């Protein structure tokens, strides 16, 4: 009986100790956030063009689209500094009162370059057989990574300063991190300078008129800090309790 009581007492004490410890861990916590932002010039032009053809049978439609895309790829690959990629091939039936009256095939071509003048001239040539679906500037990967490294350091420093300021304002000496999260995925999407479902394919199209513009990159830091003092007075860990 004494053994059972002793074990029960130890369990109660252990539970009470854990409860006190957990409660103590939640003292003096503050949730904070900080961010750093930078406007950066867009330096990469991205164009998406497409070929589309409708015919009485799927094979004929596909053949014409393949011919146009292959011509465009060969033309683009002759120019240095332009990245070429094909995507989104499809063949669909065209209906008239639930009956198939034709077949429509289409495929897209994505072009990227840091030389907007060179790519603009190429787009003008490709419009002989392709149409523009989308044309926009964005920040290149190398420029983005360089800017994000700098912004991450700035956001962390801003968070640290805000935490130190909070500690001082509340009468504490310092702080330590409880948890922290860094979000460096905030990028304002580039603005499309041309978007449309169809653009007339002119034999002598003029080079596209485009402006690079800019994007805003943002890094945010959120987290919880615990404020503490170097002095212990009575049951308090805070120097502001010395007035009691």
CATH number of the domain to which 144 belongs: 3.30.110.170
pTM above 0.85, yes or no: no
Domain boundary among 122, 138, 154: 138
**Are residue 239 and residue 159 in the same domain, yes or no?**
yes
Domain boundary among 138, 157, 177: 138
CB 11 within 8 A of CB 197: no
CATH number, position 125? 3.30.70.360
The mean pLDDT value for 112-117 works out to 94
Query: What's the structural domain count of the chain?
Result: 2
The mean pLDDT value for 42-53 works out to 96
Which tens digits make up the pLDDT trace of 133-190?
A: 999 999 999 999 999 999 999 999 999 999 999 999 988 989 999 999 999 865 655 5
pLDDT at 233 over 90: no
Task: Say if 177 falls within a structural domain.
Answer: yes
pLDDT at 92 over 50: yes
Comparing 194 with 46, which gets the higher pLDDT?
Answer: 46
State which residues form the domain around 125. Answer: 44-138
Domain boundary among 138, 162, 177: 138
Task: Say if 39 falls within a structural domain.
Answer: yes
């Amino acid at each position: 009986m004494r053994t059972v009581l002793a074990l029960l007492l130890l369990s109660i004490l252990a539970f009470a100790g854990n409860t006190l410890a957990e409660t103590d861990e939640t003292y003096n916590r503050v949730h904070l956030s900080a961010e750093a932002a930078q406007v950066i010039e867009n330096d990469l032009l991205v164009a998406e063009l497409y070929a589309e053809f409708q015919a009485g049978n799927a094979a004929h439609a596909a053949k014409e689209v393949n011919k146009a895309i292959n011509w465009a790829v060969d033309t683009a690959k002759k120019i240095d500094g332009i990245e070429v990629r094909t995507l989104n091939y499809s063949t669909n039936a065209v209906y008239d009162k639930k009956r198939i009256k034709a077949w429509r095939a289409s495929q897209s071509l994505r072009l990227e370059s840091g030389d907007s003048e060179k790519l603009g001239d190429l787009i003008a040539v490709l419009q002989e057989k392709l149409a523009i679906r989308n044309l926009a500037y964005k920040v290149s990967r190398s420029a983005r990574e360089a800017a994000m490294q700098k912004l991450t350091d700035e956001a962390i420093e801003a968070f640290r300063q805000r935490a130190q300021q909070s500690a001082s304002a509340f009468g504490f000496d310092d702080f330590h991190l409880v948890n922290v999260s860094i979000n460096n995925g905030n990028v304002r999407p580039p603005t499309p300078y041309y978007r449309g479902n169809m653009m007339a394919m002119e034999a002598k199209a003029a080079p596209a008129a485009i402006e690079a513009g800019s994007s805003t990159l943002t890094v945010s830091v959120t987290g919880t800090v615990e404020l503490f003092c170097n002095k212990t007075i009575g049951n308090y860990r805070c120097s502001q309790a010395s007035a009691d």
